[in-house]
Amino acid sequence: MRILLTSSRAPVTLHLIRVLAQAGHTVYATDTFTSTLGSHSRYLKRHYTTPPPRYAPAAFAAALLRIIRSHQIEMLIPTSEEIFYIARYHELLGAATYVYSEPLHILNGWHHKAFFQRRAATLGLPTPRSVLLHSRADLEASLPDFPHYLLKPVYSRFGTRIITNAVPQRTSEALAACQPSVQDPWILQEYVSGESLCSYSTLYDGRITAHCAYAIPHRYGNSSSGTAFVSVDGEETFAIVQKLGAAIQFTGQLSFDYIRTAEGKLLLLECNPRATSGLHLIAPHYLVGGLLNPHQAAWIEPAGQQAQLAPLVILGGLGYLRRNLLRPRGWHAAWHTLAEARRVPDIIYSRTDRRPALMQLLVWRRFARRAQQFNLSILQATTDEIEWNGL
């Protein structure tokens, strides 16, 4: 099969390039710039540079259509937030190839944090108490009912814009940054403490074909972006995702964030209807089958699989060590992190495909330059050209 992947910058896309090509498929990929992690893979047939979907959505769709027609692409698999722009032009692109995604009017209802909360609640799935905010007046009227709260835009990523009074910070100053509007709505949510959990699934017509529940033992700085991942028992999350997917016969990739309370209750937090790091943990045969074979029997990845972005885990461990030089427990935790980094498989490095690992420093330098140029964080720079913040 001739397959086109988008956003080759993402580690998940590099992973898909490798496993799909190793399964015998011909893989093409695109991004908004030439040198990416995926563009350097020996398993890639050809790489294309497209206009940025966030700033030139019609030109982006037109570029994809030309690639699809030129190479007789049989399947288009979006991987990151460019999926919403592909979904916006689903009819146009779907006339030329099979698009592994729902159209935008369906997809947006999963990504919008407040709309997703409502969807889950109608299906009887537990979620934290939430209120949709369209103005500062909405915030001021609702805030007294939330002694412990989280505030975040309905379209946001990496947890970088979260405002909360449940962890030590200058809350009064942070609250000033929350300025909801009709164009930029926010969600006010009850803060629930507990253990974080995630899941990634592939579905066809509402039926799961591959599923993985996973924990994130290490994250990038104070963000929610993970740098290490380990699969956990997936039976409970499988049942939740199956119920959600079956409700509208969903086809595509679904990823969820959860919190498990001290009482053991699992609450749904939000949805990313796209690829996330859980796919690194799924056995390649079942991941490929989950994406390409609608008839694959549902696969639930067993607990215990591990993967990591080793350089970031090591940097995090060294940083923790530096901040805790005089604390014996700090030394122990940092040493454990560094020792673990030696034995857990790296997501980028592959003995049969070494160039992406060798080139990743140059790729990150590109993001660093963009961050400096546009006054963004590094994480913001990684998605600036592809992120979706509503119409």
What pLDDT is stored for residue 160 in this prediction? 67
Mean pLDDT score across all residues of the chain? 90
Q: Is 176 buried (19+), middle (13-18) or exposed (0-12) by CB count in 10 A?
A: exposed
Which DSSP category does 79 fall into? -
Please determine, for residue 110, whether its predicted confidence score (pLDDT) is greater than 60.
yes
Confidence band for 355, pLDDT divided at 50, 70 and 90? very high
Q: What is the mean pLDDT of residues 49-71?
A: 98
Give the side-chain half-sphere CA count within 13 A for 346. Answer: 18
What pLDDT is stored for residue 327 in this prediction? 56
Please determine, for residue 11, whether its predicted confidence score (pLDDT) is greater than 90.
yes
Percent of the chain with pLDDT over 90: 71
Confidence band for 191, pLDDT divided at 50, 70 and 90? very high
In whole angstroms, what is the distance from residue 319 CA to residue 341 CA?
14
Please give the domain boundaries of the chain with CATH numbers for all domains: 2-106 (3.40.50.20), 129-190 (3.30.1490)
Q: What is the mean pLDDT of residues 14-24?
A: 98
Which DSSP category does 298 fall into? P
What pLDDT is stored for residue 48 in this prediction? 98
What pLDDT is stored for residue 329 in this prediction? 58
Confidence band for 192, pLDDT divided at 50, 70 and 90? very high
What pLDDT is stored for residue 170 in this prediction? 44
For the chain, list the strands marked E by DSSP: 2-5, 26-31, 46-49, 75-77, 98-99, 130-133, 149-153, 163-164, 186-190, 195-204, 207-219, 226-232, 252-260, 266-272, 299-300, 306-308
SS3 338: helix
Q: Cβ neighbours of residue 254 under 8 Å, at least 6 residues apart? A: 110, 200, 201, 203, 241, 244, 245, 271, 272, 273
pLDDT 10s digits, 295-353: 999 999 999 999 998 777 656 554 544 555 555 555 555 555 566 666 788 999 999 99
Of 315 and 375, the one with more pLDDT? 375
In whole angstroms, what is the distance from residue 131 CA to residue 355 CA?
47
pLDDT 10s digits, 111-153: 999 999 999 999 999 999 999 999 999 999 999 999 999 999 9
pLDDT 10s digits, 164-183: 888 765 455 688 889 999 99
What pLDDT is stored for residue 227 in this prediction? 84
What tokens does 358 get? 């060798």
Q: Record the pTM.
A: 0.91
What pLDDT is stored for residue 389 in this prediction? 87
In whole angstroms, what is the distance from residue 16 CA to residue 356 CA?
13
In whole angstroms, what is the distance from residue 50 CA to residue 154 CA?
27
Q: Cβ neighbours of residue 355 under 8 Å, at least 6 residues apart? A: 40, 41, 42
